[in-house]
Amino acid sequence: MTDLSPRRPHVRLTRLALQDFRNYATLQLRLDGRHVCLYGANGSGKTNLMEAVSMLSPGRGLRGAEFTELIRRDAEGQLARSWALSADVRDGDIDRKLGLSLELDEQGKSKRTARLDGVNTAQADLAELMRIIWLTPSMDRVFVGPAGDRRRFLDRQVMAHFPSHGTFGAAYEKAMRQRNALLERGRADPAWLDALELGMASAGAAMAIHRVDAVRVMQEAILARPEGAFPKALIDLDGQFETHAANDMPLTDIEQEIVSQLRENRSRDQAAGRTSQGVHRTDLRVIHAPKGLPADQCSTGEQKALLIGLILANAQALFERDFAPSPLLLLDEAAAHLDSDRRAALYDELAALGGQAWLTGTDRSLFDAFGDRAQRFEVSEGVVREG
């Protein structure tokens, strides 16, 4: 029989406060550390609460929105001048306070502020305390969509292990855009191209190593899971430089390989108007292990079960790492697409992880199988009531 008892203290939210965030003029949500179930009609603000929590991780949250898009508009459509969120976090036996805000000046320019225990800090620093993994309805077709969708899904999972992965990704993309623009003009300064390509190589090599490491521990966690409602997957990476990393090529050698390839491809990339090869082209391959089928050939229900299994395995992989805090899981509308047996299995697996998960659904009854292992909140037009 599977042991469902928590194995060590985990990071949990004990309070969430919002001011002028999305459809919330003001909100104070008191939490007791159990899982959090949010229910209510579509459009009532459940996902907005999940998005607020996701902002405590690096990047722009689970919707990928610009920070200014989060500012509340009143009934007349008038924009507030700022938004703010704060959270109390229980880290084992230690209480921490996190905050994030945005203010607009008279010219409409924005100023972003992050705070940790009352001291101004960078938003990225919050990630050292909060590792957040999410699953949203937009991810449901990740296996049948373009490679870019799977790559973004992969990199989100990797960032939970290595928060700096997002910084490397942004640096790589910026340098690549600049390189593409120089090549498009023609007669680019070779020294400038050399510098940009070196920047791409430095960031790209780190990204490849991060991806390989995260996929390795995720696969180990998948194989260690018992057979159950969420089928095991075989996962690997389709990428030249990830292959080098998997074969233990040193970081500096991978960087040199990237530089050499970029230089060799300058004429080709100039003609194509894009950078044709690199870590921005890597794909994530997923196989339904029991059936031996690629994920894109599975049924919609099987794909959803595989996706949930990957998220659970990544959470387990993070739990096993000595250097990472336990993750917070955000599962938006995940329960609605599962039958009652799979919903119960999902809640049992979340309980086994021992951390805190946030889930949304339209009906309170979707969370009946959680029993007393979760707090329930009704969400209605910017008002949240426990019960």
Q: Model confidence over 200-243: pLDDT tens digits?
A: 999 999 999 999 999 999 999 999 988 889 999 999 999 999 99
| pLDDT attached to residue 92 | 80
Strand 327-331 relative to strand 131-135, pairing: parallel
| Contact (CB, 8 A) for 174 and 197 | no
CA 314 – CA 159 distance, rounded (Å): 11
C-alpha span between 143 and 305 (Å, rounded): 12
Cα angle for residues 295, 299, 302 (degrees, 5° grid): 70
Residues 341, 356: Cα–Cα separation, whole Å: 21
Considering the entire predicted model, what is its pTM? Answer: 0.92
Q: Residue 37 contacts by C-beta under 8 Å, 6 or more apart in sequence? A: 358, 359, 360, 361, 364, 366, 367, 370, 374, 375, 376, 377
Q: Are 47 and 68 in contact (CB under 8 A)?
A: no
- From start to end of 184-318, where are the E strands? 233-238, 283-288, 293-294
Q: With b meaning 16 or more CB within 10 Å and e meaning fewer, what string describes 47-79?
A: bbbbbbbbbbbbbbbbbeeebeebbbeeeeeee
What confidence score (pLDDT) does residue 1 get?
32
Does the CA dihedral 264-213-210-191 come out positive or negative? negative
- Residue 287 corresponds to which tokens in the numbers above? 């196989």
* Token pair listed for 134: 């999410």
Q: Residue 65 has what pLDDT?
A: 94
Q: Give the separation between CA 214 and CA 371, rounded to whole angstroms.
A: 33
Burial (Cβ within 10 Å: 0-12, 13-18, ≥19) of residue 44? buried
pLDDT of residue 189: 87
Indicate the SS3 state at residue 307. helix
Please check whether residue 93 is in contact with residue 9, taking contact to mean a CB–CB distance below 8 angstroms: yes
| Per-residue model confidence (pLDDT) at position 4 | 39
Distance (Å, whole) CA 39 – CA 332: 11
Strand order in the sheet with 131-135: 131-135, 327-331, 356-361, 35-39, 374-380, 383-386
Whole-angstrom distance, CA of residue 125 vs CA of residue 112: 14
Name beta bridge partners: 236.
285
Helix or strand run (H / E) with residue 347:
helix 340-353
CATH 3.40.50.300 occupies which residues in the chain?
A: 1-130+326-387
Query: Which top CATH class is 1-130+326-387?
Result: alpha beta
CATH 1.20.1050.90, the chain: domain bounds? 143-324
Instruction: Check residue 9 and give its pLDDT.
Output: 57
- The rounded distance, in Å, linking the Cα atoms of 378 and 46 is 9
CB 8 within 8 A of CB 354: yes
Dihedral (C-alpha) 46, 9, 132, 82: value to the nearest 10 degrees? 60
Q: What per-residue string of b and e applies to 12-37 under the rule 16 or more CB within 10 Å gives b?
A: bbbebbbbbbbbbeebebebeebbbb
Helices (H), 38-105: 46-54
Q: At what angle do helices 251-264 and 190-224 cross, to 10 degrees?
A: 130
What does the pLDDT read at residue 7? Answer: 45
- Percentages helix, strand, coil for the chain (3-state, rounded to 5) are 45, 25, 30
Domain 143-324 has CATH 1.20.1050.90: yes
Stretches where the chain sits below pLDDT 70 are 1-9
